[in-house]
Amino acid sequence: MKKIGIIGGGFTGTMTAVQLITKSSGSCEITIINERETFNKGVAYNPYSEKHILNVITGKMSAYPDKPDHFLDWVMSRSEFQDRDKTLIENSFLPRKLYGEYLTEIWADTIKTADSKGIDVNVIDSFVIDLDVNENSVSLLLENESNLIFDECIIATGNQIPRNPVVKNNEFYKSKNYYQNPWLIDSVKDLNNDLPVLLIGNGLTMVDTVIGLLEQGFKGEIFSISPNGFNILPHRHNGLKYTKLTDELSDNLSLFELVKLVNKHIKMVREYGVSAEPVIDSLRPHTQKIWKKFTDNEKELFMSRLRHLWGVARHRIPLHMHDKIQKLQIDGRLHINSGKIIDIIESDNFITVEFFNHHDHTMQKLKVSRIINCTGPETDLMNVEKSFLKNCLIKGILTQDKLKLGITADTETFQVINSEGKPHISLFTLGSNLKGELWESTAVNELRGQAEKLAERLKTAEHSHEVKNAESL
Ligand SMILES: Cc1cc2nc3c(=O)[nH]c(=O)nc-3n(C[C@H](O)[C@H](O)[C@H](O)COP(=O)(O)OP(=O)(O)OC[C@H]3O[C@@H](n4cnc5c(N)ncnc54)[C@H](O)[C@@H]3O)c2cc1C
């Protein structure tokens, strides 16, 4: 019987197991290692607030690539939605907590399927702290000191907590008033209303944190700082599908040619009162292919010059959330800054943050009671302390892409590539670990397809494993 291990049971790990169980003929044992609290939900779908909502509409959040209405139908079958208009719900942004419940229900149904097929499924409430490979197997060391050996192992570790920005006094990051993990409720609780709070980062996590602070009754001012200080955009032009750009896409466009093409189309849509987002959205189905064709220099240029603009156009918030953020700015409760933090000094009663303001080119100081890091998941795994992924990079079992966006892997087979440039036959990865290979490898839209494709591949291998075992008898 083939033993498959999955490290991480967020959306990606859960849906890979679901797909494996659904496709399997029964001759395998599946073990998922993930702490109990976030199992099935991961970071995204285990939020501390009901007000943390999906950034994708209901109609596009099915967990299955071949059943586009699966989430919508699940939502509409619940009593609290039965008197609601289906088109309205299809186009709305629902709570991420609800999506977590959806995944837990999918898992409960899948366990019944596993039982009926005689597939053993184990969920271990622990953390993997080390990994080693042998010719045909992978061994794991868990935090609870147990050792596990698998014929095949899938790394589905997803989002890492944000990195600490480099400042003169890095010692500050040991302070109890610094919250590196913005996804835990502690980061927004028990605040001093007399002093402002500083959020580092101006993206979606900043918005969630502002919502969280207000929900916890915080009455003070909120400052945010990011290098570009872009204001987050709302979802406008609801569902507008722009197709003209893709008609002109060809396989070998350079980054320069692509930018020229995109700018041409943005100019065209603006004539009709439409902003850039539908043009950028129209590239989405082609992004991975385009990224793979870019040279290393083009990828580097994109990351240094265009990534932030891309992020703003791609990662938008629902209109009502955007209105809320704008109102907070108008009321003087939220101040969004473009700047670079130079130093952070903590004294007995407050924290002084010194930053260079990109807007007026001056050095400025802020006095705050707390700093919350909202810069988004770290991708350079060498920066993730106490991580088995870092150990694997040091041992040469794994490698990173040049831009340190993720793990190097074959995107057809999902096999990781070692320091000798060889794919490992038993070790796989998917999800945000493939960002360096695919750029867009973060949202449900991409991950559900990867989970299905990897399960299909392992099923085929399961068959050859059976044949190999039968031959050796
Ligand atoms: C706040 C937030 C909101 C988002 N909202 C959306 C959205 O609305 N729509 C959308 O499409 N996408 C959204 N995303 C993108 C999101 O990353 C994916 O949708 C998806 O949830 C990723 O799942 P994952 O399993 O790959 O990663 P994660 O959710 O990060 O799950 C990984 C799991 O692996 C576990 N793990 C990690 N290391 C180990 C280890 N060593 N041992 C054992 N377990 C380990 C973690 O504890 C975690 O439970 C959001 C992301 C974030 C961070």
Would you state the pLDDT for residue 386? 83
Identify whether the C-beta of residue 107 lies closer than 8 Å to the C-beta of residue 18: yes
Dihedrals phi, psi of 100, to nearest 5 degrees: -60, -40
Sign of torsion over alpha carbons 14, 19, 22, 27? negative
Question: What is the spatial distance between Cα 188 and Cα 186, in angstroms, rounded to a whole number?
Answer: 5
Q: How far is the CA of 50 from the centre of ligand 1 (A)?
A: 18
**Mean pLDDT, rounded, for 336-364:** 95
pLDDT tens-digit series, residues 248-261:
998 888 999 999 99
- Interacting residues of 65 by C-beta distance below 8 A, sequence separation 6+: 448, 449, 452
Please give the DSSP secondary-structure letter assigned to residue 45. Answer: T
Give the atom of ligand 1 at the shortest distance from the alpha carbon of 158: 27
Q: How far is the CA of 157 from the centre of ligand 1 (A)?
A: 8
Residue closest by Cα to atom 12 of ligand 1: 443
Q: Is the pLDDT of residue 94 over 60?
A: yes
**Mean pLDDT, rounded, for 397-411:** 97
**Mean pLDDT, rounded, for 33-58:** 96
Give the atom of ligand 1 at the shortest distance from the alpha carbon of 60: 11
- Ligand 1 mutation target, pool 34, 314, 321, most atoms within 8 A of CB: 34
- Ligand 1 mutation target, pool 36, 43, 414, 430, most atoms within 8 A of CB: 43
Q: Is the pLDDT of residue 3 over 60?
A: yes
Q: Is the pLDDT of residue 30 over 90?
A: yes
Among the listed ranges 226-235, 296-305, 400-409, 459-468, which one has the minimum average pLDDT value? 459-468
Would you state the pLDDT for residue 470? 45
Q: How far is the CA of 273 from the centre of ligand 1 (A)?
A: 36
Identify whether the C-beta of residue 156 lies closer than 8 Å to the C-beta of residue 6: yes
Residues at CB less than 6 angstroms from ligand 1:
7-13, 33-35, 38, 42-44, 54-56, 127-128, 156-159, 183, 388, 431-432, 442-445, 447
Would you state the pLDDT for residue 421? 97
Q: Is the pLDDT of residue 180 over 80?
A: yes
Q: How far is the CA of 24 from the centre of ligand 1 (A)?
A: 25
DSSP string, 115-159: HHHT-EEEEE-S-EEEEEE-SS-EEEEETTS-EEEESEEEE---P
Side chain identity at residue 296, one-letter code: D
Q: How far is the CA of 10 from the centre of ligand 1 (A)?
A: 5
Looking at beta carbons, which pairs linking 322-327 to residues 24 or more positions away fall under 8 Å? 322/232, 322/233, 322/234, 323/234, 324/211, 325/207, 325/210, 325/232
**pLDDT tier, 27 (very low <50, low <70, confident <90, very high otherwise):** confident
Q: Half-sphere exposure of 41 toward its Cβ, with a 13 Å CA cutoff?
A: 22
Give the atom of ligand 1 at the shortest distance from the alpha carbon of 431: 26
Residue owning tokens 């596990």: 148
Whole-prediction pTM: 0.94
Residue closest by Cα to atom 52 of ligand 1: 44
Give the atom of ligand 1 at the shortest distance from the alpha carbon of 12: 25
Q: Is the pLDDT of residue 211 over 90?
A: yes
Domains and CATH numbers, the chain: 2-53+95-160+378-472 (3.50.50.60), 170-233+317-373 (3.50.50.60), 244-314 (no CATH)
Question: What is the spatial distance between Cα 256 and Cα 388, in angstroms, rounded to a whole number?
Answer: 39
Side chain identity at residue 414, one-letter code: F
**pLDDT tier, 472 (very low <50, low <70, confident <90, very high otherwise):** very low
Would you state the pLDDT for residue 462? 59
Residue owning tokens 């010719």: 135
Identify whether the C-beta of residue 231 lies closer than 8 Å to the C-beta of residue 342: no
- Ligand 1 mutation target, pool 11, 39, 385, most atoms within 8 A of CB: 11
Q: How far is the CA of 377 from the centre of ligand 1 (A)?
A: 10
Q: Is the pLDDT of residue 471 over 80?
A: no
In the numeric block, which tokens belong to residue 234?
């709302």
* Torsion on CA atoms 29, 67, 433, 45, rounded to nearest 10: -90
Residue closest by Cα to atom 15 of ligand 1: 443
Question: What is the spatial distance between Cα 64 and Cα 427, in angstroms, rounded to a whole number?
Answer: 24
Would you state the pLDDT for residue 412? 95
What Cα–Cα distance (Å) separates residue 127 from each residue in 38, 123, 132?
A: 12, 11, 15
Residue closest by Cα to atom 51 of ligand 1: 44
Residue closest by Cα to atom 13 of ligand 1: 443
Identify whether the C-beta of residue 170 lies closer than 8 Å to the C-beta of residue 162: no
**Mean pLDDT, rounded, for 376-392:** 93
Residue with the larger pLDDT of the pair 178 and 253: 178
